[in-house]
Structure 1
């Protein structure tokens, strides 16, 4: 795990809990995330990983607990307010406008970040600057050649890449990726992994990554937390967490999965 010059968490959850009827989906999770750190959140299906993300980003209101952003209580803030304060999340395709061109989707995100609309009284140079910034985001996810296609015509993998471009356009301080490479072909995956690796080099950014692929976890994580039945089960150095017996039994299933050599992921 990295050493941190700034001990103040960028993001913190304290006793974060949500119940659906008698089911506790996230159970009193307390965890702090610091700038310059990439934390992988792992656990079996149904462990509460995406629900935990939904609570942090504002899609769901918690039953109990707090969410702090740079020490400020943002627990009850809506998604839009949390986004303005720097929490950015890739929304698993739900934030895309399928009938608009790819470039327009990203341009709208750039515009939203700048808190302004485009109207007849806007200066044309600002229009051009917004478009150029949107194109730069598309270039980072290798979608420039598809900028004029409607989103609905993209493959699932390209739509996931577009999600990441939109997230980049919002310029968050907290990056939240929920299985960003799901549905991508083998040759598409390195584009996103290299980009996440690049983001984590910026020590002012905090990255949270939900991921099932252990080779990805090993290659990117500074820290791993494990959720199981909504409860925080382990938190620490990746090698130690992966090797712990409780994680092998509850998440990885067998020791063979833990001890096999992980494929190397290039970072350019």
Structure 2
């Protein structure tokens, strides 16, 4: 990408205040295509709040969010999704009474602009169903396609969320603790999917994650938030070894002996 080109995604001095508390404090970051950035920090550091501001769930008190150089700070979450920002939530965000297949099919319909009033005629949309089944197969959910989303265990719902996200085909994919609540045998499915997405050089991936083994295995870059501020940004080994991360995130205090 030429140096003069804008990054895929950028936050500039992004800030949010709740009363007198500054939850995210003037965070400026650029995110390029073909990269996976892990956002880490201690509990209460502002990671999920920062995610919510990028995806549009929270309105910034100051600063900007830009996508391909265009200011999207004032856009709603659905409008940002339409522009190419996809978000998988830390808590599942599904249609619980619809089938696993229908959840994914509706996301595909939305992306294609077909409309969402065709629930009773799913059988007439063969290409939609075929694409949905492919995504369910990738997330190891095809055998449960006919069950309601509510019938899935928590880990299964998280995998379904990823299938829905993939169905939207966003340029920017945001994962908030994607393996939270999953059993040991479910985790590799999601991690392999994220690796596959990361391999697509047209995609930009942001990941909030507490598990450092996951961060080390996936991240091209780590940024660290602490008390809402950006305190470190760089290659994983360099950032993890930095004193501020060792103390603020990993709890390793520098010896004064």
What is the TM-score when the length of structure 2 is the normalising length? Answer: 0.93
Go from structure 1 to structure 2 and tell me whether the alpha carbon gap of 1:93 and 1:135 turns closer, same or farther (over 3 Å shift): farther
Structure 1 unaligned spans of 5+: 256-268
1:162 Cα deviation from its structure 2 partner: 0.4
The superposition leaves residues 63-113 of structure 1 with CA deviations (integer Å, 9 ceiling, x where unpaired) of 000000000000010011100110000023442011111000110000011
Pick which of 221-230 and 110-119 moved more: 110-119
Distance in 2 (alpha carbons) for counterparts of 1:205 and 1:118: 27
CA distance in 2, matches of 1:204, 1:100: 32
Look up the match of 2:213: 215
Q: Does 1:189 align with 2:187?
A: yes
Measure, in 1, the Cα distance between the counterparts of 2:230 and 2:117.
48
Of 80, 85, 91, the match for 2:78 = 80
Residue 8 (structure 2) aligns with? 10
Corresponding residue number in structure 1 for 2:146:
148
- Match of 2:100? 102
2:21 alignment partner in structure 1: 23
Q: 1:150 & 1:143 partners in 2: Cα distance?
A: 12
Tell me the TM-score normalised to structure 1 length.
0.90
Where in structure 1 do 4 or more consecutive aligned residues deviate above 4 Å?
4-7, 123-126
Q: Distance in 2 between matches of 1:125 and 1:202?
A: 32
Note the C-alpha offset of 1:218.
0.5
Question: 1:20: how far off?
Answer: 0.3
| Aligned residue runs from structure 1 range 47-126, under 5 A | 47-117=45-115
**CA root-mean-square deviation:** 1.7
State the partner residue of 1:243: 241
Q: Where does structure 2 lack aligned partners over 5 or more consecutive residues?
A: none
Match of 1:133 among 131, 136, 149: 131
Post-superposition offset of 1:115 = 1.2
- 1:151, 1:40 → 2: CA distance? 28
